Amino acid sequence: MTPLVDHIAADRLYGDHDTVAVALGRLEPAGGRDMTSADLGTRYRLYLDALNERRLDDLVHYVQDDLSYNGETMTRRQYQDLIATDITAIPDLTFDAQIIVASDDHVACRLVFNCTPQHQFLGFSPNGERLCFAEHVFYYFRDGRIAAVWSLIDRQAIEAQLRQTDMMISTRRSRELCSRLPDCRPQ
């Protein structure tokens, strides 16, 4: 099957959500019909819509009861909790699909996150500044729902931005403190 490649603008709408969800997002393929790459791409975008709209209970329509995440077996509830933890740590988290490639029963996606973490996430302590980083994620679908996820997050980009903003914040604070002292001149 020829892969479907879809470059998506962040503000692109996919039509009436309820109509599309009923047609593709919440129904298994009728009569055992295999999903086309276009169906799978649309289904994946509906899954992202559910995440972005914080409709995590709707994952029942997009994720198998049991799945594999980076080789670890977990339940859909554990997967949902994993996502909920990220959303709690990063309230403005938006799953912005820059590239989607759907073929047969697989989806590959480049997600870009431009967000301001409020709490520790992925082992990083936030500093109140915006971060931009990417996740490259691959999915295997079985019976129209996600059965396996392989995720690679650009942790180096996160670390570099935190380090850079920490240095800028530290320099700014030093200058502010120094400006308050009569014998100190900022350099």
**pLDDT tens sequence across 74-105:** 999 999 999 999 999 999 999 999 999 999 99
**pLDDT tens sequence across 113-148:** 999 999 998 888 888 889 999 999 999 999 999 999
C-alpha span between 168 and 170 (Å, rounded): 5
Task: Label residue 182 by pLDDT band (50, 70, 90).
Answer: low
Q: Where are the domains of the chain?
A: 4-154
Q: Which DSSP category does 161 fall into?
A: H
CATH code given to domain 4-154: 3.10.450.50
Using alpha carbons only, give the angle 58, 146, 31 rounded to the nearest 5 degrees.
90
